[in-house]
Amino acid sequence: MREAWVDYAKGIGIILVVFGHVNRGLYSAGIHLSESFYQLTDSVIYSFHMPLFFFLSGLFFVQSLDRKGKSRFIISKIDTIVYPYIIWSLLQGTVEVVLSRYTNNAASLKDLIGLFTHPRAQFWFLYALFMVFFIATLLYNKNKFNYILPILIVVSAGLYVCQDSLSKSYHFGYITSFMVFFLLGALAIHYSAAIARINITTSLIAALVFVLLEWVFHGYLGLTYTDTGLYSMILAIAAIIFIISLSVLLAKADIAWLRRLGELSMVIYLMHILAASGLRIVLAKFLHVNNWSAHVLAGTLFGLIVPMVAYYFIQKMHLNFLLERPRFHNVQRKEKTL
């Protein structure tokens, strides 16, 4: 059974993703409040928001794998991760090539056709997520997984802490950076009943710990999210616990718009760069708006809302092939029954 708080956690996560990318785009365009403010906000967000998504992806890994079996499970991930990765890498990449003179980072046809070995822009997440799912599936054994999961978590935590000294060839860095959070998600689902009982007191404690650790990490130690190691892992885990506790409370409050953002987080992730960057270009290049606050507010809202509107039209016009691999065998089967 799907836990209600998961969609709220995804909703919070995707807001941070869109804001983070808008903020980075503005900084590259020379629109920011100050260097120090940009560096701090960027590092705080990137210290935990992608580990959060890998954690959430791991929650229902075992349940889904047991239901489908290894082969069908991998095929389903090719349908829902690899396929949209290819489609939207090509779509966004083509737009970036055509509009290179207006964008912050010029794209070439070489960048476009290199998507199978060098993921571009935000699509690295889909590339990494499929790698993590694939390797976790290879490691999975139904009869032994509950026993070996703690061992795998310890090993993956060790790989995370030592990742700077390990090879990143063949994108192995994606595994060392995120596998531990995915496996923690697979473990956390066993405690779903306890998570559902989280109250406001627990949430306040989690918030206090999160703020304190962020201050210690960024302020006292003077580190940034790129300084990966034991401290950054502890910080990411503390942040995930805070987001979970907050999401449980929000789920009880039944905030429909935030839940919907979570439900459509993949759609938003695929399209938000095109929407937000397009708005930034129009505002800055043509309307000559250079106010950071106006840009970041409008860009974040645009990056969230436009993909949701696009999703509505995709459903209405039966253009689902833009988001998921067409299932022609289903059509053929229906035709035979007519």
Those residues whose C-beta lies under 8 Å from the C-beta of residue 71, and which sit 6 or more positions away, are none
Check: CB of residue 257 under 8 Å from CB of residue 15.
no
Q: Residue for token digits 């290879």?
A: 138
8 A C-beta contact, residue 237 and residue 55:
no
Backbone φ/ψ region at 167: left (φ over 0), alpha (ψ -120 to 50), beta: beta
List the chain domain ranges.
Answer: 4-337
Instruction: Please give the Cα distance from 174 to 218 (Å, whole number).
Output: 23
| 38 burial type by CB count under 10 A (0-12 exposed, 13-18 middle, 19+ buried) | middle
Amino acid at 132: V
pLDDT at res. 328:
60
Cα–Cα distances (Å) from 101 to 97, 104, 165, in that order, read 9, 8, 38
Closest C-alpha to 238, from 258, 208, 198: 208
The pLDDT value recorded for residue 331 is 45
The answer to whether the CB of 296 falls within 8 A of the CB of 19 is: yes
Asked whether the beta carbons of 310 and 273 are under 8 A apart, the reply is no
Q: What is the C-alpha to C-alpha distance for residues 168 and 124, in angstroms, rounded to an integer?
A: 14
Query: In the block, which residue shows the tokens 């043509």?
Result: 286
Backbone angles phi, psi at 287, to 5 degrees: -100, -5
Amino acid identity, residue 140? Y
Q: Can you give the pLDDT of all 338 residues of the chain as single tens digits?
A: 468 899 999 999 999 999 999 999 999 999 999 999 999 999 999 999 999 999 999 999 999 999 999 999 999 999 999 999 999 999 998 888 887 766 666 667 777 788 888 998 899 999 999 999 999 999 999 889 989 999 999 999 999 999 999 988 889 999 999 999 999 999 999 999 999 999 999 999 999 999 999 999 999 999 999 999 999 999 999 999 999 999 999 999 999 999 999 999 999 999 999 999 999 999 998 999 999 999 999 999 999 999 999 999 999 999 999 998 887 655 444 433 33
**How open is the CA angle 284-266-255, to the nearest 5 degrees?**
90
Tell which residue, 258, 222, 219, 189, has the closest CA to residue 10. 258
49 C-beta neighbours (distance < 10 Å), count: 22
**What pLDDT is attached to residue 106?**
65
Residue 71's CB is within 10 A of a number of other CB atoms, namely 9
58: helix, strand or coil: helix
pLDDT at 189: 94
Tokens representing 263 are 């439900």
